[in-house]
Chain A
Amino acid sequence: MDTILQIDELHKKMGKFQLSDLSFRLDAGYIMGFIGPNGSGKTSTIKLIMNLIKKDKGSIMVFGQDMENNEKQIKDRIGFVYDQCNYYDTLKIRDNAKLVAPFYSRWDWSVFEDYLKRFELDPNQKVMALSKGMKVKFQLAIALSHDAELLIMDEPTSGLDPIFRSELLGILKEYIEGGRRSVLFSTHITADLEKSADFITFIHNGKMVFSMEKDEVLSSYAIVKGGLDVLDEGLKRELIGVRKYRFGFEGMTRNPSYILEQYKESILLEKATLEEVMLYVAGGNV
């Protein structure tokens, strides 16, 4: 299987914030959710991948090539959608596309026009007149019109309504069909990823917590609930975060089978969602 993106021991210091020891891999044909709370380093990692900022240490290989030495060839095969729409506000959709299209060797105007129709975007509309959702659609239309093999999206769904978010996930699934394309999708709205992602990479405070298959994440973590009388030192050690209430506790474990074996009768074990994983791991003991 072709590896689309491989990051090894990536380091970057930016003032007081430090991104350290980041390593993950994305193979062709998959969607990777890149999650973490605000300020955890998601956008910085994406900027490093796109060479918008320079790494201090480590390696970033895209399509098996080093980004620094093969920037032009690699970027020809990447589509990008950023949190903010940084195209010219005062220009029309079509004029913005006209400025970008000549850079790509495989730009296809008919694909672009099809996406505009599908997203109900008027090519003669100025970017400043577009809503937040329409701006994401416009960026997506550009990103998908040059046969990119890697789509990088930084928080594309924040502030969008559930209908468009659902539509977007459908487009992404369609995009990776065929097995030669991949998506790196940064978000803190983890519900979107539960429906679409194959892999999850979680970073917190600039450090990687894990990078694994989504199903493995969901089976590795579980929510433990029980009475306060059960919460002994042994159980506390197994819990990532503990919330104590008047009549009981709630916490997360990375060892559900052990907990079930030890406390079978007195606890309740529930499947954790990605949001809960992020919340507990990022929050620690709340």
Chain B
Amino acid sequence: MTATPTGGEHPGDDLSALLDGELSSAEEAAVQAHLVGCLACRHEMEAVSVARQWVRALPPVDAPFGLYERMLVPYRPRRRRLAMAMVGAAAAVAAVLVSVAPAPQAPVDPSVATLIEAHATSASVDGDPVTNLAPAGVPVSIHR
């Protein structure tokens, strides 16, 4: 930084500190005094002040629907091991049958959300697309 004709240094970083109220009153007075006589620093002040306003004016951002709900719902893992130690005779026989028999057909996942989307897209073809499809833009939550 070069010395100004009045002998003080350009404040540089202190300009932002001034805007953020981080300077003591003495420091603040010194910066203000410098600004009176320095066009370059006034421009710099203006620039960072504008950028500061822009960021301060940014609105809050909402998390996508369900982000926290998904994290708050406890995960209930399906336990696959049989507690063989506690099995009575009949259950032991049944367990043998299950292991010997061919694997039963995989159960059908309700997948309600998928079916809703399939329906909404089919229905919108013959009707008003906005009112038929807007509901599909809302996530389906069937777990409470």
- The yes or no verdict on A and B being binding partners is no
Binding site for A on B (CB under 8 A): none
Binding site for B on A (CB under 8 A): none
